[in-house]
């Protein structure tokens, strides 16, 4: 059975894993949280590249996947070339869904909601020039939103709508903004709050569906098996038990092993 390794700083990549599993239920999966270095969106670029390159090399050696998904925009927009050069298996990166957003936006006015790292990457700038040169783009980089997504999945009681509305305040007075790119894999976990904060005026797009198609095309001959395929989880630092019980269990992750 073919095996895919998913990787993110935290719970964000689970939003992508869910879509890929739905499309490719016959594959086995591992999920690696680099929670020791969370949040990735705040790390210096050189530090992030070397961290991702080293950790993924070790993880691929130990877990022997057939394919890696870097389910993190902050890491993919920066470290993909370095990781691909180092590994001999296919590496799929998750980058902001600028191209689908440009196809969707009737008003040619798009908001990019991502981490502080992703909004300022050269890679992101290149994506915009290539696919959305005729669109007005608003940038909003927020680590607080990443933290809120982690808290929501852990079932922390909080008024998430109010918190998200405050963060999106700069966009509340932009009537032509009609499409928001959820350019961080944590943000689909807050999609409802984002839509409500902008009073339902926007469509939210993420990269999950495109990644599912890509994985399916790279592992086309994967065979189905009678038993339910394995799903293993690893973290670089102990994960709060409440998050495991209230949040990760929903994704089938009941036991997290330390990976150092």
Which residues belong to the active site? 72, 184
Residues that bind ligand DGL (CB under 6 A): 8-10, 12, 38-41, 72-74, 115, 118, 143, 146, 184-186
Q: What are phi and psi of 158, to 5 degrees?
A: -165, 155
Shortest Å distance, C-beta 40 to ligand DGL = 4
The alpha carbon of residue 84 and the mean position of all alpha carbons in its chain are separated, in whole angstroms, by 18
CA 258 vs CA 132, 142, 250: distances in Å? 42, 28, 20
Contact partners, residue 93, CB within 8 Å, separation at least 6: 69, 70, 75, 76, 77, 80
Q: How far is the CB of 88 from ligand DGL (least distance, A)?
A: 25
Which residue lies nearer to ligand DGL by CB, 64 or 250? 250
Rounded distance, CA 2 to CA 230, Å? 11
Residue 9 or residue 19: which is nearer to ligand DGL going by CB? 9
Nearest approach, Cβ of residue 77 and ligand DGL (Å): 8
Distance CA 229, CA 146 (A): 30
For residue 140, the SS3 value is strand
Nearest distance, CB of residue 102 and ligand DGL, angstroms: 20
Contact status, residue 112 vs residue 183, Cβ threshold 8 Å? yes
Closer CB to ligand DGL, residue 73 or residue 124? 73
Of 225 and 238, the one with the shorter C-beta distance to ligand DGL is: 238
């Amino acid at each position: 059975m073919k095996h895919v390794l998913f990787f993110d700083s935290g719970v964000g990549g689970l939003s992508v894993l869910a879509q890929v599993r739905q499309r490719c239920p016959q594959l086995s999966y591992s999920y690696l949280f680099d929670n020791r270095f969370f949040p990735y969106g705040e790390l210096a670029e050189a530090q992030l590249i070397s961290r991702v390159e080293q950790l993924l090399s070790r993880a691929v050696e130990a877990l022997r996947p057939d394919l890696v998904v870097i389910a993190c925009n902050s890491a993919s927009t920066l470290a993909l070339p370095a990781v691909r050069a180092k590994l001999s298996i296919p590496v799929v990166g998750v980058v902001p869904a600028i191209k689908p957003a440009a196809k969707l936006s009737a008003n040619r006015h798009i908001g990019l909601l991502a981490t502080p790292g992703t909004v300022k990457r050269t890679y992101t700038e290149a994506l915009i020039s290539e696919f959305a040169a005729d669109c007005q783009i608003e940038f909003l980089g927020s680590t607080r939103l990443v933290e809120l997504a982690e808290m929501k999945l852990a079932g922390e009681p909080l008024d998430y709508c109010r918190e998200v509305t405050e963060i999106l305040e700069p966009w509340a007075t932009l009537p032509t903004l009609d499409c928001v790119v959820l350019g961080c894999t944590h943000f689909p976990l807050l999609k409802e709050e984002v839509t409500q904060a902008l009073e339902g005026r926007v469509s939210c797009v993420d990269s999950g569906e495109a990644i599912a198609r890509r994985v399916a095309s790279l592992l086309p001959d994967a065979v189905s098996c009678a038993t339910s395929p394995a799903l293993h989880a690893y973290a670089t630092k102990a994960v709060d038990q409440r998050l495991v019980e209230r949040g990760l269990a929903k994704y089938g992750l009941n036991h997290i092993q330390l990976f150092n």
